[in-house]
Structure 1
Amino acid sequence: MERNTFTTVIGWIAAGLLVSKSVIADSAAADASNLDIELTRLIKAQNISSIYSDKGQSTEKVALGRALFFDKVLSGSGDIACATCHHPNLHSGDDLSLSIGVGGDGLGYERKLGKARPLIPRNAPEIFNRGASQWRTMFWDGRVEIAADGHRISPADEKLPADKLENIVAMQAMFPVTSRHEMRGRKGDLDVSGQPNTLAAIGDTDFEEIWERVMGRVLAIPEYVALFKQAYPELATDELHYAHAANALAAFQTKSFTFEDSPWDRYLRGEQAALPEAAKQGAILFYGSAGCSSCHSGALMTDQKFYNLLVPQIGPGHRDSSGFDIGRARVTDQKKDAFAFRTPPLRNVAITGPWMHNGSYMSLEAVIEHHAKPLEMLQAYDASQLDPSVKKTFRLNTSTILVMSQTFSPEINVVPELNSQETEQLIAFLESLTSPSTQDLSYLVPQTVPSGLPVDR
């Protein structure tokens, strides 16, 4: 009798455990379903869609663009290429707070500043998904823009060969070769062979001559003549303009750095299991109470507008702005735009630090905290996190804070302070924006380039 009673009790316990497991499983499933329901509601309300870029680029144009992207022949002294600051092995950036331009040596963390050379005032932005049709601005200050009426705006004004440029990525590619600190060099520089840097001798606003000289040195190389002929068979060599090189650079970047397979993009296409639960909770925060999507909106996750977030002032700034980097105001010449920078896109954001327009933060946690309390974070900024060459450029005093605060963007006030769990969830969502295809892009790096100059790798 006792044995039968014991067996019965054991049976009740086992049955109870099975019921409990079933209830827990049902509860978890219900929680997951509720997350998806709420996230789907937010996605529809804000008209969010997966990113899409037309990767259907001419094979010949992509091949030409690849060669140009890695070839230092485009620079005045032959010592820096587009890839130096936007390298595939460094997630299309350079892993530095502020880039090191002409006269530098090395790649990424190991790159060294040239003697008596300044740092580039801003962080090198990643170049993922720039072929998407929604793009209408380029650079942190938006100095390259396609206006709503189609008018093309750039530092070159009417000198820009707009009729020859295929898209805004090509427009952007026209200007690094004209920048003294980025690629062109300063007057009196010698190139890597000890000869005078002829590009550096040209005036800063003589864009047409700069582009003509760059094309002249490129087309002096027989392999490039052949590559241009394959990419533009309808044009004679003497009809080629640097704009055609820019179009090829744009084709290479669009074809090679476009990725639409992040967990978030898969979720947007209907794969609910692609996104972990923590990332779903983070997405609900992002598109809901955290207010992130008020600026990081749409398929690009940027409204392409400009805001002053009181980001710490580091870097050499600009001589005509008392050593400050006043951002958008350098383009518009309007005080209200001082210290404002474009909202960055967020695809692959977790792998493209340091963050902010000047790489002032080394973690996403710090970036999130700065958005919640910008003035407090500015006042408490710890410059010890910076590389010594950058640290010595940090400026923080009462007058700096007062000047910057005059044009603070009130839009940032929508961001609340988050607790540690909410921050972790938000970061889980930001990590879900990383494409697995970006893990190894070394296949994009060529062994050699037509000029014979060394390839950064």
Structure 2
Amino acid sequence: MNVTLGKASSGEECRVISVRAKLYACLLSVTMVAPAMALDLPDPLTLDDFIRFEPAQVQLGQLLFYDKILSGNQNIACATCHHHDFNGADGVSLGIGEGGVGLGMHRSGGTGADRILERVPRNAPALWNLGHRDVRFMFLDGRVEVSDDFGNGFRTPAWIFLPKGLNSALAAQVLFPMASETEMAGQPGENLIAGAAYEGAHYVWPLIAERVRNVDAYVPMFIDAFDNVNEASDITIVEIANAIAAFEGTEYRNFDSPFDKYLEGDETALNDAQKRGMELFYGKVGCSNCHAGPMLSNQSFQALALPPFGPGRTLLNDPIARDVGRMAVSDVPEDAYRFRVPFLRNVALTAPYGHDGAMPTLEAMVRHHLKPRESNVEWRAEMAILPPVPWLASSDFALCDNVAENDRVRSRVDIDLPSVTDAEIADIVAFLNALTGETALQRPMGRPDTVPSGLPVD
């Protein structure tokens, strides 16, 4: 059958052209916005997502956080390695713990009999947003975990000996640096706390509590902050840890970054490079496979083949001074060299990066994720940010020079990301910088000038 189509009138032609133009414009619009619409972005954070701590406990916690009375030789505080000057960290790859003097790269290894025997074996994690209600693991190997296994709310190295009544995983974590010889306790023979630490962390905590309650100025503060404290003898390590957790969880709560504003609906909050980086992060590159959820971490454990150095965290009867990460906690061989996926808000403020601080910049860390084994091989000792300690110079990089151990590290890589261009790497870094809060550098309390013990404040 032959069909003859008549010529359309000029009015009909205009209508056809108009419809085609609208259809083209619609398709163009969909094409332009589709990548952003397809991204699985987290919900915005709100105050309700965080534990709300009592103001009196927060104020007390600030003083305890900066008070060296909690350390064996009374020469280091929690704040020494998590200082306001370094945005809740210490600015170095591996810190100098008990026995050192100063802060950051200017911290020395001490002198004489007090000088340090080794560096702290892992990078000091930052404190940002650890008061979030969904935080399940603390420490880079997750050795403090929310759990009901032992009737005290947590699975920790103290097992059943962890006291009840801790208000958060953050409070449970607070307890263990106090019992670490390298971090705060000191060496056996130097003080009672160091001797107790050799027997077990739970022997340390009553000694620290006794010290604190013997400082007269602290007692009324504890009575004001805790309903169950009516006199000095009521002060225990639980109240001390809960107060410090209250301070950390409040002081380092921050979610007013450009990315947070974007999640709240302000599409102008991110510039073009940051938006491209966000699309790569949540799309093509797949960073969000691990850095997922509102805290930008699924709290899993991943092996990245970061170059090993420093003293390691040696397992009992292990002939090699190394750090096997999560395996030391789980006893599962597949967990060898795995470490907890970090939270990323304010990540640009807390260099260096990795469980041992091997990567000095965000760009270096991004590039390592893209080619972990190649990055491990190309890494150089100069990339580590280490305060000079001359008597440790010969051993600082012995682990990295151990060919067999480094081969084992490189054999355990859990991620496989696609290749990207230098421009795309720059965009990802731009997005990571967009995670920095506008008020991140303006903490509400900061460093106190003095503490009740009268000890000097770093």
Change (3 A) 1:273 1:205: farther
Shift of 1:35: 6.2
Change (3 A) 1:366 1:203: closer
Shift of 1:86: 0.5
8 Å contact from structure 1 (residues 310, 378) kept in 2: yes
1:62 to 53, 58, 64: 58
Does 2:152 correspond to 1:143? no
Please report the TM-score for the alignment, with normalisation by the length of structure 1. 0.86
Q: How far apart are the structure 2 equivalents of 1:56 and 1:405?
A: 42
Q: How far apart are the structure 2 equivalents of 1:305 and 1:55?
A: 22
8 Å contact from structure 2 (residues 344, 435) kept in 1: yes
Query: After the TM superposition, which residues 166-181 of structure 1 pair with which residues of structure 2 at under 5 Å, given as runs?
Result: 166-181=167-182
2:355 to 337, 357, 382: 357
Aligned to 2:456: 454
Shift of 1:247: 0.7
Shift of 1:119: 0.2
Does 2:292 correspond to 1:316? no
Shift of 1:333: 2.1
Deviation per residue, 1:202-223 (Å, 9 max, x gap): 1434333311000000000011
Aligned to 1:184: 185
Deviation per residue, 1:117-150 (Å, 9 max, x gap): 2100000010000111110000000000014889
Aligned to 1:241: 236
Aligned to 1:86: 82
Determine helix, strand or coil for the equivalent of 1:200: helix
Deviation per residue, 1:287-310 (Å, 9 max, x gap): 001110011111111111111111
Q: How far apart are the structure 2 equivalents of 1:205 and 1:156?
A: 11
Shift of 1:329: 1.3
Q: How far apart are the structure 1 equivalents of 2:406 and 2:215?
A: 52
Shift of 1:442: 8.4
Structure 2 gap segments, 5+ residues each: 1-24
Does 2:367 correspond to 1:369? yes
1:277 to 272, 280, 292: 272
Q: How far apart are the structure 1 equivalents of 2:116 and 2:246?
A: 36
* Equivalent residue letter for 2:36: L
8 Å contact from structure 2 (residues 228, 234) kept in 1: no
Change (3 A) 1:451 1:432: same
**After TM superposition, where is structure 1 displaced by more than 4 Å over at least 4 residues in a row?**
33-37, 148-151, 388-392
8 Å contact from structure 2 (residues 181, 197) kept in 1: no
Q: How far apart are the structure 2 equivalents of 1:351 and 1:235?
A: 38
Shift of 1:92: 0.4
1:230 to 221, 224, 230: 224
2:192 to 194, 198, 210: 198
Determine helix, strand or coil for the equivalent of 2:145: strand
Q: How far apart are the structure 2 equivalents of 1:78 and 1:292?
A: 42
Aligned to 2:245: 250
Q: How far apart are the structure 2 equivalents of 1:391 and 1:200?
A: 26
Deviation per residue, 1:359-395 (Å, 9 max, x gap): 1011111111111111111111111223355875221
8 Å contact from structure 1 (residues 88, 442) kept in 2: no
* Equivalent residue letter for 2:159: D
Over aligned residue pairs, what C-alpha RMSD do you find? 2.2
* Equivalent residue letter for 2:254: F
8 Å contact from structure 2 (residues 57, 247) kept in 1: yes
Shift of 1:405: 3.6
Change (3 A) 1:35 1:425: farther
Aligned to 1:288: 283
Aligned to 2:8: none
2:408 to 403, 412, 431: 403
Shift of 1:315: 0.9
Shift of 1:201: 1.7
Q: How far apart are the structure 1 equivalents of 2:105 and 2:444?
A: 17
Determine helix, strand or coil for the equivalent of 1:145: strand
Taking every aligned residue pair, what percent have the same amino acid on both sides? 37
Structure 1 gap segments, 5+ residues each: 1-26, 190-196
8 Å contact from structure 1 (residues 170, 250) kept in 2: yes
What is the number of residues matched between the two proteins?
414
Q: How far apart are the structure 1 equivalents of 2:83 and 2:33?
A: 37
Determine helix, strand or coil for the equivalent of 2:217: helix
Shift of 1:200: 1.1
Shift of 1:55: 6.1
Aligned to 1:158: 160
8 Å contact from structure 2 (residues 304, 413) kept in 1: yes
Aligned to 2:125: 125
Aligned to 2:380: 382
Q: How far apart are the structure 2 equivalents of 1:447 and 1:127?
A: 21
Determine helix, strand or coil for the equivalent of 2:198: coil
Please report the TM-score for the alignment, with normalisation by the length of structure 2. 0.86
More moved, 366-375 vs 68-77? 366-375
Shift of 1:332: 1.5
